[in-house]
Structure 1
């Protein structure tokens, strides 16, 4: 990921049986895949901001009529906030950050915001697509090796600041922490040369909001 260096509480799980949601939900409802990295990102934002919400766990491919009424494609995550229904993790996260601005996940000034968006693009384009389960890789083992090598090569970026590419917690950390949590499930053990990445990961995992964001499935993922 060499381009990056240059460009750069209130949650309750309900299980898999869903009830009609419509306008009867007085709080935000998130239809979530318990193992999906994209659903995890949204759950983490909800926890970070302490947004009262209802997590409706859905088995992929088994979308209920209620979910399909909100999102005809049945994709996850899907969020409902009263009469508004949104899907796509990025869209949902940006909405939540604007709707609930504290703590902010984006810098205030336009230049820093643009740099953060560029870094986010690189994370998703360079690292998320290398996930063995991303659907973009024909050789999962090779993808895992490339992901490990790319993360290791970016160790100095992880070491430079308290958070990724920033002095403050941001949408970049929201995106990276769920990825790093899944590395062992991808068969990835980072080498000693990636010590700054591992140290960063431990800091992110220790945050109460991160722990609150984990589904039961994610808690069972082995990690160091």
Structure 2
């Protein structure tokens, strides 16, 4: 399907304003220092361009000339390969597989609860809030393991996890003192200039950036 004339000559990302999976892609773009036109949309009322480009009308959707990609995992891996510096995947195949599996589980297990808290009814939100808190505490040993999530350097896993940690306060999730490693992890990520660049105005208002 041909892209709109206004999209053919630049890298364009259709993104939600406060969308945890869109934020994941914006984190990759910011980490790479890639210039991209960000089109902020309301996924419940997608613009005509997005309807024509993506059969699911979902965000994030990335357009580069005649290439159209959607689904955060597809988009982020493409960006990491298309713009290889700095790399956001380790060289070792086993480490790469672990990160892919981690981000897959995060997509299936964590993200739906974030979305239920944001968009579900009261009962759904209460259940999701409790379950997401449990999942985060289950992952506490991983947060304590190294500076970044499953890796000594920042990776695509961090781009998936950090947007969720950024939203915890706004989602009404309070972690116990023994989970301080999760907040410490978040603070390390949030202090990076790239993270600040990844935020929309709506996301920036969710909490204060550390100084």
Residue ranges of structure 2 left out of the alignment (5+ in a row): none
TM-score by length of 2: 0.88
Q: Distance in 2 between matches of 1:221 and 1:123?
A: 21
Q: Distance in 1 between matches of 2:17 and 2:154?
A: 24
Question: Could you say which structure has the higher helix fraction?
Answer: 2
Matched, 1:120 2:114: no
Q: Check conservation: 1:43, 1:213, Cα contact below 8 A.
A: yes
Q: Structure 2 vs 1, CA of residues 49 and 73 (structure 1 numbering), >3 Å: closer, same or farther?
A: same
Q: Structure 2 vs 1, CA of residues 134 and 217 (structure 1 numbering), >3 Å: closer, same or farther?
A: closer
Q: Structure 2 vs 1, CA of residues 140 and 42 (structure 1 numbering), >3 Å: closer, same or farther?
A: same
Q: Distance in 2 between matches of 1:94 and 1:205?
A: 22
Q: Distance in 1 between matches of 2:182 and 2:29?
A: 24
Q: Check conservation: 1:35, 1:218, Cα contact below 8 A.
A: yes
2:182 partner SS: helix
Equivalent residue, structure 2, for 1:205: 190
Equivalent residue, structure 2, for 1:43: 26
Post-superposition shift, 1:117?
1.4
C-alpha RMSD of the superposition: 2.1
Equivalent position to 1:61, from 38, 44, 54: 44
Residue ranges of structure 1 left out of the alignment (5+ in a row): 1-19
Equivalent residue, structure 2, for 1:34: 17
Paired residues, number = 205
Q: What are the equivalent positions in structure 2 for 1:1-224 lying under 5 Å apart?
A: 21-22=4-5, 25-131=8-114, 132-133=116-117, 139-222=124-207
Q: Distance in 2 between matches of 1:42 and 1:157?
A: 22
TM-score by length of 1: 0.84
Describe the superposition over 1:36-87 as per-residue Cα deviations: whole angstroms up to 9, x where unpaired. 1111111111111011110011122222222222224321111110111111
